[in-house]
Amino acid sequence: MSDSLVFMMGQFEATFPTDRQYARNHMWARQQDPAYRFGFSAYAVRLLQDVYFLDWIVDPGTPLQPRQEIGSIESKKAEASLYAPIAGRLSAFNPELLDDPSAINVDTYGIGWLFEIQSPIPDLPEGDAMSGLMSAQQYIAYLDEVWVATQRTIKGQLA
């Protein structure tokens, strides 16, 4: 793996490769011309634990706005809606995850990617489309801010 930064979640390490960007909804983004590929960060995977179900409510080709609901996830620890981290056009879902999303648990930064979004959409400037993404350093600073509240929410799960 490329250079990575580490955030300590109690006694557990969450690593974040520096060759990608991160969103506040705990997804990573990596440019795969002409699209951005997204997956869950190690932080999200650690909190979710074993992911076993994904359901998408949009189809490839759908134009998306930031924070638009695109699907849902179920895991050992949570059920949650999934939201688009940026504006753009949904170009693909990871076909490997459609029947078996367990790759998310095994290789979140590789074969466990979720979807691709082509960005920007023609009438939205790229800066506006990508404004929700942070560097690995910025993401760790964000995690530092939210970690205390997160620990209260999941008290006892990371012992």
Across 81-99, average pLDDT: 94
Assess whether pLDDT exceeds 90 at residue 72.
Answer: yes
Task: Give domain status of residue 91, yes or no.
Answer: yes
Task: Give domain status of residue 31, yes or no.
Answer: yes
pTM of the prediction? Answer: 0.85
Task: Give domain status of residue 12, yes or no.
Answer: no
Task: Give domain status of residue 92, yes or no.
Answer: yes
pLDDT at 158: 47
- CA-closest candidate to residue 126, choices 84, 88, 90, 85: 88
Q: What is the pLDDT of residues 38-68, one digit of tens each?
A: 999 999 999 888 999 999 999 999 999 999 9
Task: Give domain status of residue 103, yes or no.
Answer: yes
| Structural domain boundaries enclosing 68 | 23-132
- Tell me how far apart the alpha carbons of residues 84 and 36 are, in angstroms, rounded to a whole number: 12
Count other Cβ atoms within 10 Å, centred on residue 34. 9
Q: What is the pLDDT of residues 103-114, one digit of tens each?
A: 999 999 999 999
Q: And the tokens for 77?
A: 């620890």
- CA-closest candidate to residue 80, choices 111, 123, 44: 44
Task: Give domain status of residue 126, yes or no.
Answer: yes
Q: What percent of the chain clears pLDDT 90, i.e. is strictly above it?
A: 69
CATH no. for residue 123? Answer: 2.40.50.100
pLDDT at 109: 96
Query: What contacts 69, CB < 8 A, 6 or more positions away?
Result: 57, 81, 82, 83
**Residues 97/86, Cβ–Cβ less than 8 Å:** no
pLDDT at 11: 86
Across 144-158, average pLDDT: 66
- Mean pLDDT over each residue of the chain, to the nearest integer: 87
H helical segments located in 36-156: 42-48, 95-99, 103-106, 126-129, 136-153
- Tell me how far apart the alpha carbons of residues 93 and 16 are, in angstroms, rounded to a whole number: 22
Task: Give domain status of residue 39, yes or no.
Answer: yes
pLDDT at 67: 93
- Cis ω on the peptide bond leading into residue 85 (within 30° of 0)? no
Domain count for the chain, please give it. 1
Task: Give domain status of residue 48, yes or no.
Answer: yes
Q: What is the pLDDT of residues 114-147, one digit of tens each?
A: 999 998 655 544 444 456 799 999 999 999 888 7
